[in-house]
A and B are shown apart, each in its own frame.
Chain A
Amino acid sequence: MDDQRSAFDIGPATLISGLGRITLMLWRTLISLRFFFVSLRLIITQMYYMGVKSIWLVAVTSIFTGGVSAWQAAYQFKDYVPVRYLGGAVGKAVLIELGPVLTALVLAGRISAGIAAELGSMRVTEQIDAMESMAVDPVRYLVMPRFIAGIVMLPVLTMLADFIAMFGAYIVSVRMVGMETETFMNGFKQFFQLSDFFAGLAKSCGFGAIISVMGCYHGFHATGGAEGVGLSTTQAVVSAAVLILVADFIMATFLFQI
C-alpha cells in the first residue's frame, strides 16, 4: 500500500507539529494538576497498574541484568583489574545506568503500549469525544493520572530493580565467579555514593514522564480503526524508547560531572 505509514515515518513537518502537540498536551496536563485531589482515585488506580502489576517483569529483567553485568565485568577484569573491584564496578553501573535505563526501556514496552492501545481504542470508538461532550476534560481524566503515576512509580520500580540487580550480581559473583561475600560487599561499599543512587532515581522520574506522555500522546492521536490503534501503539513504544536514550544522555551530562 502506497499510503501505509510506518512507525518511523517522521518528516520535518510531522516532527514539528508533533512537538507542538506534545507541548500543548504537557501544558494542559500541568494545568490539570490543580485537580490532583479530585483525581486521587484515578491516580492510585494507575499507580497500581503501572507499579504493582510491573513488579514481576522488573524483577525478572533486573536479576538477569545484574547477573550478566557481574559476569561480563569479571570477564573484562580478568588479567587486568583485581576482582575485588567487581562489586564497586557493577554497583556503579547498576545504580546510575542499568537500573534506571533498562527498567524504563522494559516498562516503555509494557506501559506506553498499554496506554496507547487503551486511549487509542477510546479515540477511534469516540469514547474520548463522548467524554469531552460531557464537559469532562479527557486530559484531566485520562492523561494527568497516568503522568503522575509514571513519575512516581518509575523511581519506585527503579529502586526495586537496583536492589534485585545487585542481588543477581552478588549471586553470580559469589557462586559463579568464586568471590567471597565480604570482598564483593567491600568493593560495593568502597565505590558507593548516595548521590549516584539519587541521580539514577532523578533520571527515572524523567523516564516515567516520557513513558506516560508518549503513550497518552500517541493514543490520543490514533486515527482509523484497529490498524490505527496498532500503529499508535508501535509509535508509542518506539518514540518512548528513543526518547529515553536521548534523555539519558542529556541528563547524564548534567547529573554526572566529569
Chain B
Amino acid sequence: MIRIENLHKRFGDLVVLEGVDLEIESGQSVVIIGRSGCGKSVLLKHVVGLLSPDKGNVIVDGLSIFDFSRKELMQYRRRVGVLFQFGALFDSMTVGENIGFCLKESLRMKSAEIKEKVGEKLSLVGLSGIEEKMPAEISGGMKKRVALARAIAAEPDILLYDEPTTGLDPITADRINELIVDVNKKLGVTSIAVTHDMASVYKIADRIVMLYDGKGICDGTPEEIKSTDNPVVRQFINGSSIGPISAQ
C-alpha cells in the first residue's frame, strides 16, 4: 500500500504541493488529474524518490521512502517502473538495450536472459522484432510503447505513468490506454497515472483524484467523478474555459 501524507513542495517562490494526502491500496489503479503545472508529475517523482518533500511523507508498505538509506532506496526503486512523459528513452542505445538496461545494470542478469525478457516485453506491447532500432528511428507512439516495455521489464509491483498519452493521436492514445489496462491486469500492479486526458482517465482508472491549488480536492470512482457537483471538477472534466478555474 502507498500512503502519501501531507506532502508539501515548493521550488523557490512557486508553491507546487500544499498538503497532498492520498492512500492507494495494492493492486489499485489511481489516476491523478489536474491542469498542466498543478504538480501531478512532481507528486509522481516523490513516489519514486526522485524529489524530496519540504514537508510530508510517502509511505510504502509501512516504510517511509525518505528514511531509506541509498541502498534501500535502490532496492525500493527496483520494485517501481516509471513511464516518463516523453518516454525518456536513452537515445544512444537501441530499443533492446533500453529495455534491458535495468536488467543488465541493476539486476545484473545474464545476456541470454536479458534477450529473452526484452523479446517478451516487446511482444507484450506489440512491437516484436524492433530490438535493433534506435529511438530516433521509431514513431512517438512506438516510443511510448517501448518506454512502457522498459518500465515493466523488471516486473515491478508499482507502476507510475506520467502523461502516458500526451502528444499522441487518439487512436494511438487508445492503444496505449488498452496496453496500460492490460499490463496492470496481467502484472497485478499498483499503478498511479497522471494525466489531463479524460478519455485516458476513464479507461484506466479504478479511482480518480483531482489536484487543484496544490491539494487533492476530489477523490472517487470514475462514476462518482462524472456525477460530482464540485464546480472545479465539473469544469475540468468538461473541458470548459468558463468556471472557477481561470483559463490563463
Contacts and interface: CB of A to CB of B under 8 A. Distances in A.
Interface in A116-148: 122, 125-127, 129-137, 141
Interface string B74-118: 110110101011101111000000000110011000000000000
B102 A129 contact: no
A126 B90 CA distance: 9
Given A129-B45, A135-B74, A135-B77, A141 B105 contact: yes
B154 A134 contact: yes
Given A129-B45, A129-B50, A130-B82, A136 B88 contact: no
B48 interface: yes
Interface residues of A, number: 14
B185 to A, nearest CB: 23
Contact of A127 (B50, B77, B85, B90): B90
Contact of A137 (B74, B85, B102): B74
B80 A136 contact: no
Contacts of A122: 90
B102 A135 contact: yes
Which of B50, B77, B105 neighbours the largest number of chain A CB atoms within 10 Å of its CB? B105
B85 A126 contact: yes
B106 A136 contact: yes
Nearest to B48: A133
Nearest to A39: B105
A127 B85 CA distance: 11
Q: Give the interface size bracket for B toward A.
A: 20 to 34
Nearest to B82: A133
Contact of A134 (B75, B77, B85, B86): B77
Contacts of B90: 122, 127, 130-131
Contact of B101 (A126, A129, A132, A136): A136
Contacts of B88: 125-127, 129-130
A127 B147 CA distance: 11
Contact of B106 (A127, A129, A134): A134
A126 B77 contact: no
Interface in B157-214: none
Contacts of B154: 134
A130 B150 CA distance: 10
Interface in A208-258: none
B105 A132 contact: no
Given A134-B102, A135-B106, A136-B101, A129 B84 contact: yes
Contacts of B84: 126, 129-130
Nearest to A141: B105
Interface of A: 122, 125-127, 129-137, 141
24 contacts: A125-B86, A126-B84, A126-B85, A126-B86, A127-B88, A127-B91, A129-B45, A129-B50, A130-B84, A130-B88, A130-B90, A132-B77, A133-B77, A133-B82, A134-B77, A134-B101, A134-B105, A134-B106, A134-B150, A134-B154, A135-B74, A135-B75, A135-B102, A141-B105
Interface of B: 45, 48, 50, 74-75, 77-78, 80, 82, 84-86, 88-91, 101-102, 105-106, 150, 154
Given A125-B88, A126-B88, A130-B89, 11 more contacts: A126-B84, A127-B91, A129-B50, A130-B84, A131-B90, A134-B102, A134-B154, A135-B75, A135-B77, A137-B74, A141-B105
